[in-house]
Amino acid sequence: MIHVDARRFDEAMGGHVVHAESPQGRFTTGAAALDGRTLRSTEAFGKNLFLRFSGDAPQYLHVHLGLIGGWTWWDHDHQQLSGRPVVKADDSNVRLRLRSGRGDAARSAELRGAITCTLVDEEGLDKAVAKLGPDPLRDDADPDVAWAKVRKSRKPIGGLLLDQAVTAGAGLIWRAEVPFLAGVDPHRPGVDVTEDEFSTMWSEMRRVMKDAVERGGKEITTDPADRPGTDGHVSRDDAFYVFRREGEPCLRCGTAVEVAEMGNRKVWWCPSCQPR
């Protein structure tokens, strides 16, 4: 989750001089422009990360990971701290490497597979953010802005939740789990969703996403009472009510979870808990 990445950068490199390089060679000019600057602040808007550096414009590094991108963090001994496991940790696919700190406190972050990695100024940041709907994880988010778009649309709510111009930051997990938590079929058109139902979905989305950030990015939506037989450890099978559980019994009512294509991607739901 991008808000987790923002927190990691703030904790590990915030206020420190950062050294940048592009081992892959696709961001050499940008890395050279950042090298030696101080990381002043971090901001996450939906799936977009903005790192603000000292010095003249462009002062922001804008990163959007897309579907396969990710940051990998390493300690001073180059032992991996977080991120997807890197089987072959060579430089062939490292778009950008950022380093800061000395001795045991040294940390580095490597970017791989991102669809956006560019430098922007204040105007560029504003243009990128203007395309986004409200982000449930931000305290300045206005859910009424998202509701105004939902209530006028005939698109399914499951698709609207994934539309970054409606709600920024929600991914495939949330577009399945949030309608379940609100008892709404993901196929229901936005115009047929009530304001109370949308309000419930927004509140649930904000709650489960915030919880995931506090857990360092681990997504869990199930209540402990709906995970019978567990010892406190939440496995992938116990973490979600419907996401990737097609054909399995609903954890609340026992009905088989269904799956369908929606916008070229899958959506899951319980036909009993989420009536049309």
DSSP sequence for 187-230: TSBGGGS-HHHHHHHHHHHHHHHHHHHHTTS------GGGSTT-
One domain for residues 115 and 233: no
High-pLDDT (> 90) share of the chain, %:
85
pTM given for the model:
0.91
* Banded pLDDT at 229 (limits 50, 70, 90): low
> Residue 246 pLDDT more than 70?
yes
One domain for residues 20 and 109: yes
Domain limit, last residue, from 88, 104, 130 = 130
One domain for residues 97 and 191: no
| Structural domain for 191, as ranges | 143-269
Q: Give the whole-angstrom CA distance, residue 121 versus residue 242.
A: 41
One domain for residues 242 and 193: yes
Provide the pLDDT for residue 111: 96
Q: What is the mean pLDDT of the chain?
A: 94
Provide the pLDDT for residue 176: 97
One domain for residues 112 and 77: yes
Mean pLDDT to the nearest integer, 174-197: 98
Domain limit, last residue, from 84, 107, 130 = 130
Choose between 220 and 232: higher pLDDT: 220
Kindly report the number of other CB atoms within 10 A of residue 214's CB atom: 11
Give the 3-state secondary structure of residue 13: helix
One domain for residues 124 and 174: no
Mean pLDDT to the nearest integer, 96-105: 94
Mean pLDDT to the nearest integer, 265-271: 97
Domain with 225 in it: what CATH number?
Answer: 1.10.8.50
User: For residue 137, is it within any domain?
Assistant: no
Range name among 65-74, 94-103, 233-242 with the lowest pLDDT average: 233-242
One domain for residues 205 and 254: yes
> Residue 89 pLDDT more than 90?
no
One domain for residues 242 and 185: yes
Q: Give the whole-angstrom CA distance, residue 117 versus residue 108.
A: 17
Provide the pLDDT for residue 231: 64
* Banded pLDDT at 184 (limits 50, 70, 90): very high
Peptide bond into 249 cis (omega under 30): no
> Residue 108 pLDDT more than 80?
yes
Provide the pLDDT for residue 146: 98
Helix axis angle, 172-182 relative to 195-214, nearest 10°? Answer: 130
One domain for residues 107 and 154: no
Number of domains in the chain: 2
One domain for residues 169 and 252: yes
Domain limit, last residue, from 109, 130, 151 = 130
Both tokens of residue 1?
């989750």
Can you count the helices (H) and strands (E) in the chain? 8, 11
User: For residue 19, is it within any domain?
Assistant: yes
The DSSP secondary-structure symbol of 161 reads: T
